[in-house]
Amino acid sequence: MDAAPLAFPVTHKVPVTWIMRHGGPSIRLRLATEVFPGLVSDADVAGLRAEIANLQAVRQIVKKQKDTGVWGGNLLGVAPNKTTGVKDVGTIPQFRRLLELGVGREHRSIRVGTRVLYRLVSRDDDPKLLFEFEKFGVAAPGAEPWIRIIVREAASAALAAAGFGDDPRVRGAAHKILNEVSTFLRSEAAQSPFVREGRSWVLNPAAYPPTVFSVSLLSRLPAVQRERAGLVERLASYLAAPAPKKAFTVAAGKKSIRPTFLLLGDPLHVSAAGHPDDLPFALFWMEVLARLGVLHTSSTAGKIWQRLLKERDDAGVWHPKNVRGIPKGASPWAHHYFPLETDAKTQESRLADVTFRMALIGRLSGMEIIQS
């Protein structure tokens, strides 16, 4: 029998003055607009946005964007990959990275990037829109429809994160995606999603499990969450269950691939002491669950949260022992998310990132936020 989720506290203490003193402009902006709206004046918000636009990390990303709005000649890549021909970080993670850093929708790089994402959402069948998957689709007949579905999910999630969730194109794509996820969660395939193929296990061709992209998309659409409350409840139960440890592939045409973005249960991995194996991804996923209103349903998230609380000092600053740098992430799906502190030269700046993330997760999950 699965352990009951750990209870989350109803209050969360946030060291506002300390964060505003030691956090970089991205952290200060987001604290003042997402956790404590009205904390600073409109003029100060405008000043922070100007400061963010001039950050070296932002300028480097903007410089790499082509006039077409594309980064790196690919969509999902975050590291060089000879097999797929990826040479640099791709369009969707770069677009979302700028959003995380606090770059606004009015910035040219976001406006131009948005055009590409809408083409991906619109079912445009131009082969060039497959980007790094174009050669794969040609080499594996039958793979293209599956590739376009995943790309559409990722593009829709990026647009929703940019605040375009009310656009009919995004809502329409979201409902179609969620219809398929809902059908899967109600089916027998949700309980037994694999079929045997020779000596290997493959995902049942009829299965349409949720992905990091589809769940992220739903988390950014509060109106859709209200409309589909039953789906959110079923999804929460599904994501709270342990994921199968069985190695498997997905048949895409005549090719088999190992997608790391599919979700067949809880994607978090945590030690008995509450230490996640990938803190940046854990924070990203906890924020997604908080935006869905289901953070309390995850026992692994509860263990991680309790560990993070134990690692805070009396002022509420996340301060674990032997902090020598910003936590490193391994998952490509949190590449855009962390860190917000792009120039962490002091110990305080290295602590500000997680301290802020805890404040945001607390706010999103409905905790009473107390300034300290």
For the chain, what percent of residues have pLDDT higher than 90?
Answer: 78
136-174 pLDDT per residue, tens: 765 566 678 888 999 999 999 999 999 999 999 999 999
**How would residue 1 be classed by pLDDT, with cut points 50, 70 and 90?**
very low
pLDDT digit string, tens, across residues 5-30? 667 999 999 999 999 999 999 999 99
Kind of pairing between the strands at 11-14 and 368-371: parallel
**Distance (Å, rounded) from C-alpha 28 to C-alpha 201?**
48
| H or E segment and range at residue 235 | helix 229-240
Mean pLDDT of the 219-225 span: 98
What are the start-end ranges of the E strands in 207-358?
250-252, 255-257
Domain ranges of the chain: 1-40+268-372
Q: State how far the alpha carbon of 198 is from the alpha carbons of 105, 247, 248, 255, 260, in Å.
A: 50, 14, 12, 14, 22
Please name the amino acid found at residue 187. S
DSSP letter at 141 equals: T
Q: Is pLDDT at 290 greater than 90 in this prediction?
A: yes
Kindly write down the DSSP assignment for every residue of 59-118, as one continuous string.
HHHHHHB-TTS-BTT-SS-SS-BTTTTB-S--HHHHHHHHHHHT--TTSHHHHHHHHHHH
pLDDT in tens, 181-216: 999 999 999 999 999 888 889 998 889 999 999 999
| DSSP-based three-state secondary structure for 198 | coil
Instruction: Please give the Cα distance from 232 to 249 (Å, whole number).
Output: 27
